[in-house]
Structure formats: C-alpha cells, structure tokens
Structure 1
C-alpha cells in the first residue's frame, strides 16, 4: 500500500488497481474510504486506478488539525499525490462528494489536469446541491418497485428532518436492488468517517463565482455523468454542473442510481473509458 505525505505532514494512503496509464480517483461519501469504489466496474482493465483514501479514512492517518477535513483544504493533498506519482498532469475522476474536491483542484491547478470525469456529483463548490424535492421526484420514479411503499415514507421523513436516516431508503441510491448491491450498501457505515464528513462541506470552503470563472477557462476534456434514477443529483442538476465548464460532455446512464458502476458496469466502463481514450495520456516528469 503506497504512502505519501501531505504538505501538513499527514501520511496518506492510496491503492493501486489495474494496469495502464494512471487515473487518480477521488472518493465520495463524503469521507468514505476508497474501498467502496472497487475496480469501478472493471475500469481497472483500461486504466491503473489510483484510489486515494482521504485523510482519516481507510488507511490514511488522522490529521493534526480537524479543520483540514474541509474539501478545499484537501486540494493540496491531491496536488501532493500528483507530485508523488511523478506526473506533470493527471487524469482525475471524482465520484459524488469527490467531485467537489476534483473541481476545486481543477480550478486551482488547471495546468495539472489532463482529463476530468465527474460521476453523479452536483458540485457544491459551484453553489449547486440537490434539494429534498429533487430526491423525492427521483424516488417517485421507483413507485413500481416492491420496496417503494415502505421506503418512500421513510425517505420523506428523513428529508424533512423528522428522524435519523432509515436504511429502508437505501434502495433509492441504486438502480437495482439485490444481494450484491445490498452488500455494497451495507459497507457504508464502517467505511465512512462521520465526524470528518460533517466538516467536509463547510459553506465557507466555497467561492462559487471564482470557481465558475476558473472552470470556464479549463481546457482539459471533461465528462459529467449522471444516473437516470439518481436524486442527488438528478440529471438536470448535473447538466447545470456541466455547463460550468468550457469543453464538457454530458451523459446520462439509463437506469442508474448514485453508483452507476454497480448498476451497469459495462455501460459505465464503456462511456468513461471513451473519455480517456480521446486524448494523449498524461506525461511523466
């Protein structure tokens, strides 16, 4: 398990899967260990995945300053990883909350990003976030599912702040629900650092106008991929995120929820691999 040191001295881990040109992968959660990403549905057959464990998740160390859990503070960790890999530029994939780390990294270090894939992310650094009605509207698309009548009231109550999260809501985050998917979902609690997650999306971490200006000038190819059944973000919100970039592609994976590589690995890998096949690979220093 490779280790590198962040600028503040925190020792951070990353996991390598597959062969080929490296692809830096930033996990969501927020603050969920990268193990939940697996091999991204088989994407590791096309690229060497560099799966970062964010500070105090997975195999990465606890930082001295808890304020560094903020996503904008972790941009320096991504840059330190790039330097550790010895690459002039890196391809980056951010999933969910990981997109809210990938986008500020691209805004702050545009010359270091070769290609960028943002997977089911609303991009809070742009001032975009899924609303309760977004999530409920997406949930109503599932009304024919056998679990809907139990899950929907639980989702309504949770979104209204009337109680703790009910696991009955979890099927809404996936495009299909079976034992394999359930095992992926059940790992969430042990993989997520809840204390760090509460600090990750601090509102003072963002400057949406400045971030939009920087991203509009990014010349790297960008893919924004949404799940057709995802409520956070719904496809229309993800499309608004894509509009913040100069050269950006937007795609909707049919029948997918928040974890599209779990729902339809072949569709996901084919679409994401195409982005990274369209341009020259990153160059080593």
Structure 2
C-alpha cells in the first residue's frame, strides 16, 4: 500500500572528519522500501542537489539517497581547495557508503558528477552493483565532441535561440556573479528538450544553486597521468553501466555519452528522443522506466 513519502536530511562523517549532509527520499511504495537504495550525485559542478528533485519519480520504487557535496546545500565548505576536486568527492562517497552500511550499492550521477562516479568506480569497483551516468561530458575521456554545438545550431529557428546564443558567447568572459546568473537563465532553454512551464521553473533556480568556489575547484589538481590511470582502472569495473543521453542536449551532446560508455567493459548507451540535459524534467515517463528497468533486470 502506498504511504506518504518521508524526506529528511541527515549527516555523515567523511574521511577528514567533516560532517557532510545527505537527503533521503524514502520509497513511496511498500515494495520499493524492500529494494536497495539508489545513491544519486548532483552535477554542475558545484550545484545544489535540490535540482535533482525526485528524478522524475524514481522514489516511487526505491529510496533515493542524495548527498550535498562540499560547499553546497547543507554541507560545509572544504577546508582545502583539493576537497572540491572530484577524486576527493569520490572519497566522500565512500565514507557515505560506510555510514549507510551498504556493502554494495547502485549509483546514479548526472552531468559533471559522472567524473566523480568514474573516479569512485575506478577506486572501488567491488562496491557497485549498477552505475547510471546521465548526460555526462567526456572530459575524463580526454575529448570534447562537437555534437552539442551541432544540436544547439539545429534549434536556431526556436524563439529563444537568439538570446541564448548571445548569452553563450558572453558567459566565458563574464566574472560578475549576478551577470553570470542572468546569462545562465538566458541560455537555459538550450539545456531542455522544450521550453515549457516545467522547464522554465526548473531553470529559474540554477543561478542561485551554483556555488562558484566548489565549481572552480572540481577539476583542479587532476593531472594527465591521473586521468589516464582512472581510464585504465575503468576497464576492470565489472558492474553493468548505463549511460543515458538526450538527442536535444546542447550542453554535453550525445557523443560524449558514447565515449564514456566505451570506457567500461559492460557499458551501454540509451539515447532518449526529445530530451535535453535534464531527462527527468523533459520526459519523466520516459526516463524513469529506463532507469528502473536497468536496476531491476540487469
């Protein structure tokens, strides 16, 4: 029998003694409560995990555990800049696993958090039962495919496109935080399959949810040798890996997801039609069954 969903925030102690926060969305069905939880990592990088919401209703069939990375949400800032780098965030994840008492678990990561998830899988392959990477980039793979730009250009007839295009050109050289937030909202339609009310509401929170310091630190301190070492270790990851891409994702595109999937021996890509960078916002009734099928029957 369905019951009222319980949402609550708790804390765990990480490798350096930091008390970090995580949010729990308990399963809304009795059968789901019996299934292992799904740990979900937010991207950005450095974005408040609130933007994940309930991932299109994934909490219907299983409990979701959503950590706040350092300097976002209810988690304190890192004491050292290296604490924001994705390999360190992977070790925060390992501390969370121990806190939750999970011998093995399923992991979902969106956007830049795919780098954290790959670092975790490389370091702790025995801990994962399933890995789901949603709209990842391919920076870990050392490539920046151009198809995201092609997807963006293909939408030039849409009414929002001229303003979004102008914002995209200005963003790289803009340092004022208020102006950055304004431009992000102006460019936001490129991240969605369409620009309707759910998408507008979701995009409206992005500027306030981004943490400049965690964002700046995410890729720091990781040299070429370390990146290549992770890729070598990914060949030893035995769990099934699902990479979800959207054919309207003008942020990371689709080719990046293919490259990420090819890095794993058991990786496969599932492209979704009419979907941008946030599949659970654009098409929750398409996204949710794909993830649940993978978790239940793979």
SS at match of 1:44: helix
Structure 1: gaps spanning 5 or more residues: 280-285
Match of 1:62 in 2: 77
Dislocated runs of 4+, deviation >3 Å: 156-159, 161-165
Distance 1:11 1:222, change over 3 A: same
Contact 1:34 1:53 in 2 (8 A): yes
Q: 1: distance between equivalents of 2:234 and 2:67?
A: 23
After TM superposition, the score normalised by the length of structure 2 is: 0.87
Q: 1: distance between equivalents of 2:116 and 2:26?
A: 23
> Which moves more between the two structures, 230-239 or 269-278?
230-239
Aligned length: 276
Q: 2: distance between equivalents of 1:51 and 1:235?
A: 25
> Which moves more between the two structures, 232-241 or 101-110?
232-241
- The offset of 1:12, in angstroms, is 0.7
Q: 1: distance between equivalents of 2:171 and 2:98?
A: 42
Distance 1:265 1:70, change over 3 A: same
Q: How does 1:1-285 map to 2 (within 5 A)?
A: 1-19=9-27, 20=33, 21-129=36-144, 133-158=146-171, 161=173, 165=180, 166=183, 167-202=185-220, 204=222, 207-279=226-298
- The offset of 1:242, in angstroms, is 0.7
Backbone CA RMSD of aligned residues: 1.8
Contact 1:10 1:62 in 2 (8 A): no
Distance 1:278 1:26, change over 3 A: same
- The offset of 1:267, in angstroms, is 0.4
Structure 2: gaps spanning 5 or more residues: 1-8, 28-32
SS at match of 1:78: helix
- The offset of 1:172, in angstroms, is 0.2
Q: 2: distance between equivalents of 1:150 and 1:2?
A: 41
- The offset of 1:214, in angstroms, is 1.1
Contact 1:10 1:55 in 2 (8 A): no
Task: Specify which structure has the bigger relative contact order, considering alpha-carbon pairs within 8 angstroms and separated by 6 or more residues.
Answer: 1
Distance 1:234 1:248, change over 3 A: same
Distance 1:123 1:88, change over 3 A: farther
Contact 2:141 2:259 in 1 (8 A): no
- The offset of 1:205, in angstroms, is 5.3
Q: 1: distance between equivalents of 2:112 and 2:62?
A: 22
